[in-house]
Amino acid sequence: MKINIISVLTIGTGLLLAACNSGQQNNAGIDNRELSGAIQVDGSSTVYPMTEAVAEEFRTVQPKVNVTIGSSGSGAGFKKFARGETDISNASRAIKEKEVNACRENSIEYLELRIALDGIAIVVNKENAWLKTITTEELKQLWEPNSRVRKWSDLRAEWPEEEIQLFGPSTAHGTYDFFTEEIIGESGASRSDYNAVSDYNVAVQGIAGNENAMGYFGLAYYTENKDKLKLISVDNGNGAVFPSLKTVGDGTYTPLARPLYIYINKKSAKRKEVMEFVKFYINNAAKLSKDAGYIPLSETEYGNALTQLNAISIK
């Protein structure tokens, strides 16, 4: 029984390989420098869709390079990266002091590249008529640890006396770290009596189903659920701004816009397939970040990234 399953699997694999091989021949004419090898990527689940998009496109150019991607989270990703277990680490925040030291201990040198921007959207229920814009000060009052705000009227007297239902990411998320850092001023400091979700679609459902609900998550989750949610503009003292391709891109949507990163092991970058992949990443980041729901950086910033990469490959 078991032997049969394995043999079927082996034959299936063989057929598949044959299929792949015939595909490669078509491509061979286009690219005469066909590379092979394996590239290991792990880290942030926020950056995952972006790197997945790049890997998928890279396959059409270099089908023999096997790029594998994990999504164990920024922190877990850095742990592996610092041990030299991965070539590239996805991160939705910059590397922390502790992680820098871990890399140094194992003499891992790395290059940090920003690849796109992500906005954090503040959203409420469609039926919510009173809330159009919120100040960062009000967000702080609402989300700070041991916050006394229970009802809308606790924030502004003219708002209804109804209890607010809060939704936000669980503590394991980079989004949580970032939001608390920017709004409260201390990473990880947040009230704990909110609906903490590990899957943002749960928050989308929750907010769509409750008139008094409010929450925050990555802009892509709003963009895909526009018909169910209402987006709130954020006022940081310089006027109310809605998060969008433009405002996140030009930096006017502050403080709730963040860069997304990839970290490249410099030793791995000496391998041709890794260098090609990262260059491909940067060259296509502008186009592919939109597919993944993120906002591209400026042309100059991508140009700088390429210059940094070239500097390594010359050494």
Partner 1 sequence: MNNAAKNKLKDNLLKYFGILCTLSGLIALAIFIIDILMDGLQRLDWEFITSLPSRFPEKAGILTAWTGTVWVFCLTALIAIPIGVAAGVYLEEYNKKGALANLLEINIANLAGVPSIIYGILGLEIFVRILNLGGSLLAGSFTLALLILPIIIVATREAIRTVPKTIKEASFALGATKWQTISRQVLPASASGIITGVILALSRAVGETAPLIVIGALAYVPFVAKTPMDEFTILPIQIFNWVSRPQHGFIINAAAAIIVLLGFVFIMNGVAVYIRNKAQRKGQ
Where do contacts with partner 1 occur on this chain (CB under 8 A)? 1-2, 5-6, 9, 12-13, 16-17, 40, 42, 45, 48-49, 51-53, 55-56, 59, 66-72, 80, 85, 198-201, 218, 220-221, 223-225, 291-293
Round to whole Å and give the CA distance between 59 and 164.
47
Beta strands in 155-197 (DSSP E): 165-169, 195-197
d(Cα 83, Cα 78) in Å, to the nearest integer?
A: 9
Residue 289 to residue 53: CA distance in whole angstroms: 8
Looking at the Cβ atoms of 63 and 259, the one nearer to partner 1 is 63
Measured in degrees and rounded to the nearest 5, phi and psi for residue 257 equal -120, 140
Is the Cα torsion angle 250, 256, 257, 258 positive or negative in sign?
A: positive
Q: Please, what is the minimum distance in Å from the beta carbon of residue 129 to partner 1?
A: 26
Q: How far is the CB of 4 from partner 1 (least distance, A)?
A: 10
Nearer of residues 79 and 142 to partner 1, judged by Cβ: 79
Q: Is 100 exposed, middle or buried (0-12, 13-18, 19+ CB in 10 A)?
A: middle
**Residue 266 near residue 109, CB atoms below 8 Å:** yes
Minimum distance of partner 1 from residue 109's CB (angstroms)? 22
Q: How far apart, in whole angstroms, are the C-alpha atoms of residue 118 and residue 169?
A: 15
Instruction: Using DSSP, state whether 144 is helix, strand or coil.
Output: coil
Query: Quick one: 224 or 301, whose CB is closer to partner 1?
Result: 224
Q: E-strand spans in 199-295?
A: 213-218, 229-235, 240-241, 257-265
The minimum distance between CB 227 and partner 1, in angstroms, equals 11
Of residues 84 and 249, the one with the C-beta less far from partner 1: 84
The distance of closest approach from Cβ of residue 202 to partner 1 in the complex, given in angstroms and rounded to an integer, is 9
List all residues 6 or more positions away from 103 whose beta carbon is below 8 Å from its beta carbon: 81, 82, 95, 109, 110
Cβ closest to partner 1, residue 68 vs residue 298? 68
Nearer to partner 1, 155 or 230 (CB): 230
Residue 37: strand pairing partners: 65
Is the Cβ of residue 169 or residue 259 nearer to partner 1 in the bound state? 169
